[in-house]
Every structure is written in structure tokens, then in C-alpha cells.
Amino acid sequence: MAPRFGIEEEYFVVDPATRGVVPRAAPVVARAAGALGERASLELIGFLAEAKTPPCRDLAELAAEVRAMRAAMADAAAREGLALAATGTPVLGDLLPPPITAGARYADSLATYRALDDEQCICACHVHVEVPGLEAAVAVSNRLRPWLPTLLALTANSPYWAGRDTGHACWRSVTWSRWPVAGPPPYLESAAHYEDLVGTLLGCGALMDPATVFWDVRPSSRLPTVEVRLADVALTADAAAVFAALVRALVEVSLDAAAAGEDAPRPPQELLRAAYWLAARDGLAGAGVDARTGRPARFRDLAAALVGHARPALAASGDLDRVADGVRALLERGTGADAQRAAFRRRGRLTDVVDAAVLRPAP
């Protein structure tokens, strides 16, 4: 049986009149808690509201949960005279100084990371997949590393930052890369290696605690899961669910490869960082590098290879057709970043970009 999986998403709180971000996440989350309970929560910056699905068994269940979660959050925002936008970076608004959410943990973050917190105005999609333990999570992390740039290209949805086009498809990942423990994870020899490395990072002060290990694949510090954290929040609920199903399948084939004793590929960190930036700059439309071989490759071709790699698990779960169709749609119509730019081109208004990304309450 396929492991359970779930999603965490972040959204920008925006003023429906100006479409700029506003620091009003607290009342939205408080109202959404009536429907979602603790699955609605605050983030470091007061512009952001977060919501989580429960663990789900299959893609249909997860898609329904994401739709219901987004509708509940949108309804809560509307009742506060606000809206929520599913973009990876803020399209419009005054960002500095950032409105830091009250609380001891966020105060500690500001004291530790300082101006890095200024650019925490980013919205991501995190996928959790159940695994049997830390050793399994490390085995998955090692085997996902070559595919992470392609996943980044598929989920790019952050071309704008506070009124300007950055020239990148995924500007969120570029701002995120400044953090001391972020981006593609290193190759890990074992669970003990992971624990020793995290202990060293804690000891030198690069981490506040294990929850601030922000590598794009990590063992969760709270749940029996491996967490894939590299994606921008998706424009649509269905896109988010399809991405999560693809991630689950990649986790499954990674666990199977580890159980069969297959060696994990070991692309150098420098190559992964370069592949990340190429994916972030141009998304699926760009030419990147195949981290498995070090050779130039189009991300369109790598996306097809990625689905092929995950095919055994996708077929076993019954998700193959839906995931393949979702990836095919991205290749034909473009990513969220492409959709944002298309919305802008129609009338040359960034307000239209925000409107295209606003979550809608249930009818």
C-alpha cells in the first residue's frame, strides 16, 4: 500500500482593493481555525497564512482536502475583508520593515538570522510522505537530489517581487538560497552522518534548532515523514495535489532502490546549485543540466524522464494517468510563472496577476 502523504501551503494575505500584501494574517488564521483547527497557522511574517491537509491515502482524497482547505482559508479571509493569493513571492506591496509575528520563537529567529528574515515573504508548498524512520528518510534524500532541479522547474510560480519582474521563473528559491542551511541537501552517508552534521550546525550557531534545517529534502523534526520543501505554492489545488502525488511516487521508488541495494547517484553540490539556478531562472522553458550525468539537457526532457523514473510507483497507486496529464499540461501551457506573466500581458497590470492567483471561497 502506498504511504500516506499530505501538503502544507502558504498564502499571501492581500488587500482586495490595492492587491498589495497586508500584515493581517492573524485574524484570518483565527477565523479559519473554526473550520480547520490547528491546521491553519501563522508564519514568521504577518503577510503569510499557512494551512495543512491531514494525512491522505490517495490522490483523490488529497485533491479534495486541498480544495476544501483553500476554500476554508479563502472564506476566512473574505469574512475579514481580505483575500489570499497563491504566489511564491509578493506581487505587490510594501515589504520593509517586515511585520514579524509575535512570539518567542520568531523573536529568536530575528535575533539569529537578522536581515535574512526581511525576505521571508515567500510562499511554498511542502509535501510530507510517511517513511519508516530516519535511515529511510536519508536514503530518499540521497536519491531525490538529482531530480530536485527538475521539480523546481515544474513548480515555478514566483516571477514577480514587489512590483517588478525579476526575470526569473522562481525568484523564491533565489532569495531562499541565502540561508545557511537551505537548498539542495548534501549527500548523507547514513542517519548517523545526518545527526552528526545537524549537531555540528547547531553547535556553531547556524541553526536555532532541528526545525530550522531548511534543506529542500529533510526528515521532519515533528512527524514520521520525509519532507520535500522546494516548490512554490501552486496556483491551483489540482496542481498542488498532482505535484504531491509525483513526490510520493519518487519517494517510493527511492525506497525500493535502497532496499534493492542500488547505489544512490552522487552529483556534486556545485552542479546541483547551478542546476537549481538555471531551473529558477527559466523554468520548464529553459536549458539546464542533467544532474545525473553533468550534461546539458532541456528541463522539458528532464520532466519526461522524471515521470518515467517514477512510473512504477505511479502505476501501482493508480496515479500515472493523472500525473502524466498534469505534467503534460505544464509542458503545453506553461508553469504558474508563465500564467502570471500571461495575466500581466493582457492589460499590463500587476493587479491582474494577483487576481488570477486569489483563492476562492466555496460556492
DSSP code per residue over 153-211: HHT--B-EETTEE-S-SBHHHHHHTTSTTEESPPP-S-HHHHHHHHHHHHHHTS-SSGG
Collapsing DSSP states into helix, strand and coil, what is residue 289?
strand
pLDDT category, 108, cuts 50, 70, 90? Answer: confident
**Residue 336: inside a domain, yes or no?**
yes
CB distance 353 to 91 below 8 Å: yes
Question: At a CB cut-off of 8 Å and minimum separation 6, what does 33 contact?
Answer: 40
Of the candidate ranges 91-100, 229-238, 307-316, 339-348, the one whose mean pLDDT is the lowest: 91-100
**Residue 220: inside a domain, yes or no?**
yes
Domain that residue 138 falls in: 5-357
Q: Which of 54, 181, 50, 61 is nearest to 112 (CA)?
A: 181
Is the pLDDT confidence value at 119 over 90?
A: no
**Residue 363: inside a domain, yes or no?**
no
Collapsing DSSP states into helix, strand and coil, what is residue 261?
coil
Cis check: omega of the bond before 97, within 30 degrees of 0:
yes
**Residue 362: inside a domain, yes or no?**
no
CATH code of the domain covering residue 328: 3.30.590.20
pTM of the model: 0.96
| Dihedral over Cα of 317, 321, 326, 331: its sign | positive
pLDDT category, 98, cuts 50, 70, 90? Answer: confident
**Residue 349: inside a domain, yes or no?**
yes
Is the pLDDT confidence value at 109 over 90?
A: no
Interatomic CA distance for residues 259 and 273, integer angstroms: 28
**Residue 116: inside a domain, yes or no?**
yes
Collapsing DSSP states into helix, strand and coil, what is residue 290?
strand
3-state helix, strand, coil in the chain (%, to 5): 50, 15, 30
Is the pLDDT confidence value at 63 over 80?
A: yes
Number of Cβ within a 10 Å radius of residue 349: 13
Angle in degrees, 0-180, between the axes of helices 25-36 and 59-79, rounded to the nearest 10: 130
User: What average pLDDT score do residues 11-16 get?
Assistant: 98
**Residue 48: inside a domain, yes or no?**
yes
Average pLDDT across the chain, whole number: 96
pLDDT of residue 221: 81
Is the pLDDT confidence value at 25 over 80?
A: yes
Cell of 275: 542546476
The 10s digit of each residue's pLDDT in 229-274 is 999 999 999 999 999 999 999 999 999 999 999 999 999 999 999 9
**Residue 134: inside a domain, yes or no?**
yes
Work out how many domains the chain is built from and give that number.
1
pLDDT of residue 110: 83
pLDDT category, 100, cuts 50, 70, 90? Answer: confident
CA angle 306, 312, 313 (to 5 degrees): 90
